[in-house]
Structure 1
Amino acid sequence: MQCCAASRMGSLPSIPRCAQAAADLDRAVKEKAGMHAVARRLMTVPGVGPIVVLNFVALVDDLSRFRRTENVGAFLGLMPRSSKAWIGPPASRDAAMEPCGVHCSRGRQP
């Protein structure tokens, strides 16, 4: 982007030129998202725009490599891989979520 290069060299670009460059980039991102069928479908979700969609499509790539939709969330780090990861009473789940330092610093209970 010429605006950034000019500002690094000491001469400040004009605001209208930077605004035009940003508008050009915005238009290019929207065009790229509009060319992808999955991206167009995902952009129908309220609050999901072309930047989010293109990031999702680039990360996930081929959805057929996931057996279940829950695995996509686990792949992105949004949830544990399986609901069976927390077998046991709720107290053990809470303890597993605490950092190790908390357990080690408590000392022995009388």
Structure 2
Amino acid sequence: MTKRSEVRVEDTWDLSHIFSSFEEYDQAQKKLQEDAADFVARYREKIAGNKSADVLLESWRALVQLISDAVEVASLAFLDYSVDMTNQEKMRRNMLSNNVVSKLSSD
């Protein structure tokens, strides 16, 4: 099997289209965790006790944005990990991303 370092750059993922740097990714990951917790705190009771179309629409829009952000975070983590599954940092990043998405799904 060819090592990642031996693959031509033009034949590799260009993850900069998702996040320009891993620092930007880390910030987005942290923000996603905070936004998910905020979403649950803000809408769990509101939705359960309210049949208002305005509340449902507001929560739906917030959820769509949250899912969009989660897809970006999870995509970068998985694509980066998929090219070298022996790299501990890539593995950590992917596992953290999976945990955030799982928690979001369960809450």
Instruction: Assess same fold via TM > 0.5.
Output: no
> Higher relative CO (CA 8 A, sep ≥ 6), structure 1 or 2?
2
| TM-score normalised to structure 1 length | 0.29
TM-score, structure 2 as length reference: 0.29
Decide which structure has greater helix share: 2
